[in-house]
Structure 1
């Protein structure tokens, strides 16, 4: 999953209070939210929302972060300090960390994991790492009543955490990961014979069968997994995304993190749309600048002035917006970036793919202008900019997109959906 607003600071206390009227079916129980040790990405924001929701439902919530690479014992090493510092707002009552140690190389990791990885089999590599991830320091004192795992590849680690006990496990899939691996492999260096989509998908499905319930955060993913695993229980639960500030400015912005899908989309925008926009203005925020520069230095230099990079307060960027552009032509799964744009209530200029995974027809949203091609996108962009400069934007709190956010993607909506799904286990 891509895109983030995790730079917006919001205290756990504030999130809990906003959900104060929610029933508390987890009162007196401890819930472990197990996730990859990622930050500054859409998946991290999803984890923050999960923890806040379970706390609002009455649980004591612990975060268990698993490193997706070989790493020294936390908090040592290059990646652990960075992750721990960047995830201070995660909101858990207690935090644990673990990852496969370098000593795992003495096992069959080179054969079962690394050898497959160099052929593009990221699915096997992550599973083999998870199998070798030890119980976190101090975790032996915990008694877990419920586990919410993120991504199939954490499930071997989840079995280590369960220590032979039977604990209900909800697996939040966050897209078909084999699809993401194939997309990433387009931009990486691997050697033949290349890993196939079918082989990686089969490994993914085999581990998913161990979960008690599979939760999916977008409509496409829900439909596909129901067909692939009809014997399992499935639930469509949109993620909770922290709201951006309501937009009351005049800036035209794009917000994007560095992943391959965003790079492809931004390349289309810069190469195909910008030349037709006749000087329309836009500022591009997020670490996508580094991704463009790394993959196409010439393209980056030609549009260097548009890139503003990662900022400490992305909330201020949304607050000053008069229009958000969503030029999405590549990507799978729900776009957190699109949900953030919905939440700020600002007029949007978007391609239909920006709304992938949502059970909504974006053409019915009054403050969304949809573009089917580059020429149309450029025209709608100019029109939206003129309205923003003229101060003619509708009240953000009463906009169609803000209402959609509150009904489907707010913390309250997510907690209600989680409580309903968990009641069936």
Structure 2
């Protein structure tokens, strides 16, 4: 396929460029009717990536496609459904909107029998998480029953699923979209700061080179935020690139007085929450708030003393997070670390709640958060704490109400991050690829 760069809707500039003649209204025409799309993804749940995967399946269904999910375990594991992390994943992903689901994992026996010990595990103990994941994906078996599927498009997530995705697509000339979900080497370098590895340590450049080598093999690279789109375009100028902001299902509109933080467990979120608990909260007096999401496990595992000191604040993962948003008056986004667009920040936008946030919470969105009237931006701990005290007093007195549907953040969400906006953007990527593949396979 020819190399090109595709520009998609960019909310900062307000520009919408057509891609291969596909119009904005294309989603309404079910352009993928009769096609089957396979979404290949890590077997993760209760995190932003899981929500992105669910949104992909929903969007392709809205475009008329039949959708299948192929979940790959990112560690050595027994086969699904029993053993390892599979029971937890299956229980938490029951609502994944796929027409058919497949699962695959690399067995522990592969560590010796297939050379994984030498090619994957030895680099891993030096911090090379990029190499480890690629070597695992090279060895995962194609799920039984998948050979009966006639797949027209593969949508892979994260570069490390590409060994599996390309194996599925190669023999049948199926086009492959890769949704990068940030430069993963950055995440590994950040995670390695809190890990225990042997010298010589794997370098960021070393892990990035491997990631880019695999990323370049996709027919189209889709990026979830502006920063990522520009960076990958610079690093891989020969590849096709598209900027497609992710979708999340809208949270219920905020109509209460609660103050909350909602966060999943990753190292960037842990560092951000640690900053809030250690530097902001002591300046905020007796302000009542609650912390939702499985970040509680991350804090407990990394800093047991910090967790115990604030144990009463942690509510953990809840089944009905919508009820939490509905009872909320103010959402805190104390982001100090991390890369890529935050799905939890997008959820917060959709709720129409008052937001107290650091500027970093809006990374990659291509928007000036200072222009959003229901957002209070604070960079330092003292300023964040004072804003928290002020908002809490006004909520309790009834002098302040969440703006809800009339808020700037809800309008931003509807324009750029809603399922409808996502389906339109995804159509402009997927339809030309499927058409090109069909044309190439048609005899002259």
Q: TM-score range by the shorter chain?
A: over 0.9
Secondary structure at the residue paired with 2:341? coil
1:404 aligns to 2:421 (yes or no)? no
The equivalent residue for 1:6 is none
Deviations 1:45-76 (A, max 9, x none): 00000000000001000001111111122222
Q: Identify the range of structure 1 (69-78 vs 54-63) with the bigger mean alpha-carbon deviation.
A: 69-78
Q: Which residue of 1 aligns with 2:353?
A: 346
1:387 equivalenced with 2:394 (yes/no) = yes
Once the two structures are TM-superposed, the CA of residue 394 in structure 1 deviates from its matched residue by 4.2
* 1:245-394 matches, cutoff 5 A: 245-391=252-398, 392-394=400-402
State how far apart, in whole Å, the 2-side matches of 1:203 and 1:64 are. Answer: 23
Residue matched to 1:39: 45
Q: For residues 311 and 80 of structure 1, what CA distance do their matches in structure 2 show?
A: 20
Give the one of 239, 245, 248 matched to 1:241. 248
Name 2:58's counterpart in structure 1.
52
Report the equivalent of 1:417: 425
Q: CA deviation at 1:167?
A: 0.9
Following the alignment from structure 2 to structure 1, what is the Cα–Cα distance between the partners of residues 236 and 51?
A: 27
Secondary structure in structure 1 of the residue aligned to 2:28: coil
Structure 1 gap segments, 5+ residues each:
1-18
Distance (whole Å) between structure 2 residues aligned to residue 75 and residue 99 of structure 1: 11
What is the number of equivalent residue pairs in this alignment? 407
Task: Say which is worse superposed, 385-394 or 258-267, in terms of deviation.
Answer: 385-394
Counterpart-to-counterpart distance in 1, 2:208 and 2:26: 40
SS at match of 1:223: helix
Q: Which SS does the other structure have where 1:66 is aligned?
A: strand
Deviation at 1:29, TM superposition (A): 0.4
| 1:107 and 2:93 matched | no
CA distance in 2 between partners of 1:315 and 1:370 (Å): 25
Q: Deviation at 1:143?
A: 1.1
CA contact (8 A) 1:34 1:158 kept: yes
Q: Deviations over 1:275-296 (max 9, x none)?
A: 1112222111122222222222
Aligned mates of 1:214, 1:93 — CA distance in 2: 25
Matched, 1:184 2:191: yes
Note if 1:168 corresponds to 2:175: yes
TM-score, structure 1 as length reference? 0.93
Match of 1:91 in 2: 97
Q: Are 1:35 and 1:47, in contact at CA under 8 Å, matched by a contact in 2?
A: yes
Of residues 186-195 and 42-51 in structure 1, the stretch that sits farther from structure 2 once superposed is 186-195
In 2, distance between residues paired with 1:301 and 1:159? 46
Q: Secondary structure at the match of 1:78?
A: coil
Q: Which runs of 5+ in 2 are unaligned?
A: 1-24, 434-444
Task: Provide the rounded CA distance (Å) in 2 between the counterparts of 1:424 and 1:27.
Answer: 14
Instruction: Find the aligned partners of 1:202 and 1:32 in 2 and give their Cα distance.
Output: 27
SS of 1:68's partner is strand
> Contact 1:20/1:56 (CA < 8 Å) preserved in 2?
no
Name the CA distance, whole Å, in 1 between partners of 2:36 and 2:299: 43
Asked if 1:75 corresponds to 2:62, the answer is: no
Equivalent residue, structure 2, for 1:126: 133
- Measure how far apart 1:81 and its partner are: 2.1
Matching of residues 215-230 of structure 1 within 5 Å: 215-230=222-237
Is the contact made by 2:27 and 2:424 (CA closer than 8 Å) also made in structure 1? no
Question: Matched residue of 1:69: which SS?
Answer: strand
